[in-house]
Structure 1
Amino acid sequence: MDIANGFVINGKSRGKLKHWSGLLHEWSSNIERYMKYTNGDIPYWYKERANVSILAGAAWRSGFIALQEFEADKQISVDETTISELYSWKGRCDLYIGSSTNQHDLIEAKYKWLSLKSDDFNKYATNLVNKALADAKASQCGGDISAVGVAFIPVYLHAKYMENIDDIIKNTIAQIKEMELDAYAWCFPNTMRQRILDNNHLNPGIFLFAKSSKYEA
């Protein structure tokens, strides 16, 4: 296992997000490229919108088109047991990506720091990606467009664990297999796994989790 970067796409015949292989590869490459060009600035430090921009850049580099922060109609059921009562409003979507092979995804993202030593890592991560997917499904799209929820989860660890950082990351990647995801990726640059910050913590990298769903007619 390469703990510096990698990705997994789940499902039969590579699943709902099988067209994301190039995208996820470029996502981690963009993080490392940004750090190289800025002499070590950490892009995943800058909250949700900045991380969406890294993903949008990965879309363009892997042959997709991409559009960020655009207006869209949103709609949810007020009563989850019926679709007769609907609440509609004008909102914004985080990201749309599309390809020449008729793959179209509307993406809503969430962002949250988690500890690599958290016993509830999978629980918190699952809740976050499910919230992102619910937001994506609230946008009124259809046809060949899929709703995708993406959770950006940068992680931290106390510096006292630095000697074991690689094993801790490997164990976390292994436990992610238990989550119900369509795809996940990670980026833990070599320099960041040994870089102690001013707060005596490590911010060694970031996970990306994704779940996809077709819009209901």
Structure 2
Amino acid sequence: MASRVANIEIVQTKRVLNGLQPLLHGWLKVVHDFCAADQFEDNPWWYNERASLSTLAGAAWRLPRWNALEEFSTTKRGVLPDGDVDRRENVRGRCDLYVAHATTSFAIEAKQAWQPIGSRARKNYLAPAMQAAKRDAGNLTSDQADHRLAVVFVAPHIPLAAVSQEGKRGKRIVDAGMAKEAFAGWLGRLDTGALDAHAVHFSGRCHDFVSEHDRVFPGVLMAVKRCKRGARGRRNS
């Protein structure tokens, strides 16, 4: 039987986003419950952006007096074919996710980043994903919500050989303690102070979170940046 290793769960927000804390704590509960429902043989963070967004929307609906709306039609700042922004005219578009409480609301544009964290990994995939999410969030109209957020779901992964031991018949068995050490080391190297909020989940039951390419996906980071300005305009009815 695989040894038990404690989870890592972190929620931090800057004062301006303190209202987001219940949602982030609720999100941690959702991702844990998803894993537990499948006896820790599956997780929601190694799929794609829409799958990750569904967990955040689900967290909102679980909380008293919170609600959520995914992929809804709205007004955005016009984007020209060459990628430049036309500030004179707004166009119809979609917002990835809207979540709200009785006292505050958040319009979210999200990206997913798959981040290698092995000893040879050098490239930072969070940075370009965050830039893309910030660009999309900045194109939302300024009256879209109380806060416009750029969110990146980061799924770190590491080669199975780096965090495993040889088991019966030569099969590699994930050592959750080694995976936790690699995860915590990567997290410690991140400049999370530059974020406006973040939430972290590492599963101590990550023994089966191994992809077909022998990569271990032991946990997830949700990175959040607030966009201070948005496009002018109104939400489409």
For the 8 Å contact 2:52–2:153, the answer to whether it is kept is yes
For the 8 Å contact 1:77–1:86, the answer to whether it is kept is no
When residues 85 and 44 of structure 1 are mapped into structure 2, their CA distance, relative to the original with a 3 A threshold, is: closer
Runs in 1 of length 4+ with deviation above 6 angstroms? Answer: none
Q: Distance in 1 between matches of 2:10 and 2:193?
A: 17
Q: SS at 2:53's partner residue?
A: helix
Give the CA deviation at 1:177. 3.0
Question: Kindly, what percent of the aligned residue pairs are identical?
Answer: 25
Cα deviations by residue, 1:2-49 (Å, 9 ceiling, x for unpaired): 752212223xxxx22111212111112111111222332221122111
- For the pair shown, the structure with the greater C-alpha radius of gyration is 2
Give the CA deviation at 1:195. 4.7
Query: Is 39-48 or 181-190 further displaced after alignment?
Result: 39-48
How many residue pairs match? The answer is 206
Task: State how 1:61-210 maps to structure 2 within 5 Å.
Answer: 61-63=62-64, 64-76=66-78, 85-101=87-103, 103-117=104-118, 118-121=121-124, 124-142=125-143, 145-162=146-163, 164-177=178-191, 180-192=194-206, 195-210=209-224
Give the structure 1 partner of residue 171 of structure 2.
none
Amino acid at match of 1:203: F
Amino acid at match of 2:101: S
Cα deviations by residue, 1:45-68 (Å, 9 ceiling, x for unpaired): 221111101001112223321111
When residues 69 and 196 of structure 1 are mapped into structure 2, their CA distance, relative to the original with a 3 A threshold, is: closer
For the 8 Å contact 1:24–1:185, the answer to whether it is kept is yes
Give the structure 2 partner of residue 5 of structure 1.
9
Amino acid at match of 1:91: G
When residues 171 and 76 of structure 1 are mapped into structure 2, their CA distance, relative to the original with a 3 A threshold, is: farther
For the 8 Å contact 2:78–2:91, the answer to whether it is kept is no
Q: Distance in 2 between matches of 1:165 and 1:157?
A: 8
Amino acid at match of 1:86: R
Q: SS at 1:27's partner residue?
A: helix
Amino acid at match of 1:89: V
Amino acid at match of 1:149: A
Amino acid at match of 1:204: P
For the 8 Å contact 1:3–1:170, the answer to whether it is kept is no
For the 8 Å contact 2:77–2:91, the answer to whether it is kept is yes
Query: Is 147-156 or 192-201 further displaced after alignment?
Result: 192-201
TM-score normalized by the length of structure 2: 0.77
When residues 205 and 23 of structure 1 are mapped into structure 2, their CA distance, relative to the original with a 3 A threshold, is: same
Q: SS at 1:21's partner residue?
A: helix
Q: Distance in 2 between matches of 1:200 and 1:171?
A: 20
Structure 2: segments with no counterpart, 5+ residues = 1-5, 164-174, 233-237
TM-score normalized by the length of structure 1: 0.83
When residues 202 and 214 of structure 1 are mapped into structure 2, their CA distance, relative to the original with a 3 A threshold, is: same
For the 8 Å contact 2:9–2:202, the answer to whether it is kept is yes
The structure with the largest helix share of the pair is 1
Q: SS at 1:41's partner residue?
A: coil
For the 8 Å contact 2:196–2:226, the answer to whether it is kept is yes
For the 8 Å contact 1:106–1:147, the answer to whether it is kept is yes
